[in-house]
Amino acid sequence: MSVRATTLPSGLRVLTDDMPGVGTASIGVHVAVGSRHEAARENGLSHLLEHMAFKGTRRRSAREIAEEIESAGGDLNAATASEHTFYQARVLPEDVGLALDVLADILTESVFDPQELEREKGVILQEIGAVADTPDDLVFELFDAAAFPDQSIGRPILGRRESVARLSRADIRRYLKRFYGANTLIVAGAGAIDHDAIVAQAARLFEKAPQARAPAPAPARYVGGETIVRRRIEQSNIVVGFESFGHTHARSYAAHAFANAVGEGMSSRLFQEVREKRGLAYSIYTFNWSFADTGLFGFSAAASPRDVPDLMKVALDCLSAALEDLNEDEMRRAKAQMKVSLLTALESSPARAEQIARQTEIFGRVLAREEIVGAIDRLTLEDVRAAGRQLLASAPTVAAVGPAARALSAARVAERLALG
């Protein structure tokens, strides 16, 4: 394996993966904190902090932060998720030092100017509004909230209007002190990378970073239920789901394989039965998301209100039938799709940098490609069917945005699956 890892005395971890033949370098800083770590009144704070990190430091203005990276031909970005945040730059090999300097600057020297804060809160409120105006985005927010009611894991990553509007500069500083410390950060690089040079520079740039307390979030409590938002639009946007498994659960790979087998791609039974044979929806697909201690499995579709009852019956019958008749051809296809997804990430330096940081945070180490491929190859039909049975035995969660449809209820989903 080409991954090298160094832990500095401060607790800062540095991971790199030198990728021969790659002409650029991706360097990032990962922190295992996201919306799941927020108190109810802080909802949206992780995302706001990510935005504000780019709005000026003691050394650079917001414009200078962007110009220094872009003048070198690079790009600078960040993303906030439920359980982590990742700041990353992609540059030419000779500009890795510049990129890491900028990243360290925005994470240790940001000033959080009050005027910039109010402007950026306004931008985020527009972002929240855009989600509310986009039914296929809004339906997933509703789904999360129904699956995990009154819990941080079920709240929107962007935050709610009322919570974002009242967040202050003091809130940001307290949150930064609580979670962003040398002992919680991972510097990760991939591509045309010099590990020793990055270690030396990271030690210097983050030497004054304090230690963070970083309390763990409360355990997730999957509940299930339903949320229907009626709107006068052309289609009903639907998500139906169930509790799945966390990253380290023994059935995690099997759950991903079940999702791939029944609903990933145009040859899947869900796509074939719902769209190709009956024309009940333009698109339908499954998903399986893993978190630290839980997960979510389900399917999403958009359909004319008159077609929703038939779509629900066909889709749920497909899932039920797969518990008994999932076949070797479907298994081979699912395994191949999982491997392609893995290898695609390994071939992209930005994805690889984020991947090695995430794996280290979750598993305590970077997983070898052969280890993951081996786990996929060892899956049997019974492994995947058993995972599917456990998934569908949990309480259903139903979310929908659009015209009302009588078929859309958690109770009806449970009844239909019981018939299968």
| Block residue for tokens 């290898």 | 343
- Which one of 42, 50, 120, 330 is the catalytic residue? 50
Cβ atoms of 391 and 244 within 8 Å: the answer is yes
* Residue 211 in domain: no
- 50 in catalytic set: yes
Q: What pLDDT does 1 receive?
A: 61
User: Which residue in 314, 315, 319, 316 sits closest to 259, CA to CA?
Assistant: 319
Listed in order, strand segments (DSSP E) in 182-340 are 185-191, 225-230, 236-244, 284-290, 295-303
Q: Are residues 174 and 301 in the same domain?
A: no
* Residue 376 in domain: yes
Write the pLDDT tens digit of every residue in 279-311.
999 999 999 999 999 999 999 999 999 999 999
In total, how many domains does the chain have?
Answer: 2
* Residue 219 in domain: no
Q: Are residues 178 and 234 in the same domain?
A: no
Q: Are residues 401 and 261 in the same domain?
A: yes
Q: Are residues 260 and 362 in the same domain?
A: yes
Q: Are residues 199 and 250 in the same domain?
A: no
- The whole model's pTM is what? 0.95
| Count of CA atoms in the C-beta half-sphere (13 A) of 277 | 13
* Residue 161 in domain: yes
Q: Are residues 197 and 241 in the same domain?
A: no
Q: How many residues does the chain have?
A: 420
Question: Looking at 159, 176, 205, which one is the last position of a domain?
Answer: 205
Q: How far apart are alpha carbons 266 and 288 in whole angstroms?
A: 17
Work out the angle between the directed axes of helices 308-325 and 252-263 (0-180°, nearest 10): 130
Q: Are residues 182 and 111 in the same domain?
A: yes
Q: Are residues 250 and 328 in the same domain?
A: yes
Write the pLDDT tens digit of every residue in 386-404.
999 999 999 999 999 999 7
* Residue 185 in domain: yes
Write the pLDDT tens digit of every residue in 401-417.
999 766 789 999 999 99
Q: Are residues 250 and 351 in the same domain?
A: yes
Q: Domain residues for 67?
A: 3-205
Which tokens in the block code for residue 27?
């360097």
Q: Average pLDDT by consecutive 10-residue portion of the chain (420 residues)? A: 92 97 96 97 98 97 96 97 98 98 97 96 97 96 98 98 97 96 97 97 93 92 95 94 98 98 95 96 96 98 94 96 96 96 89 97 95 97 97 97 82 89
Q: Are residues 305 and 253 in the same domain?
A: yes
Cβ atoms of 281 and 274 within 8 Å: the answer is yes
* Residue 217 in domain: no
* Residue 235 in domain: yes
CATH of the domain at 309: 3.30.830.10
Q: How far apart are alpha carbons 270 and 258 in whole angstroms?
A: 12
Q: Quickly list H helices, 11-86.
A: 45-52, 62-71
Q: Are residues 160 and 256 in the same domain?
A: no
Q: Are residues 171 and 264 in the same domain?
A: no
* Residue 367 in domain: yes
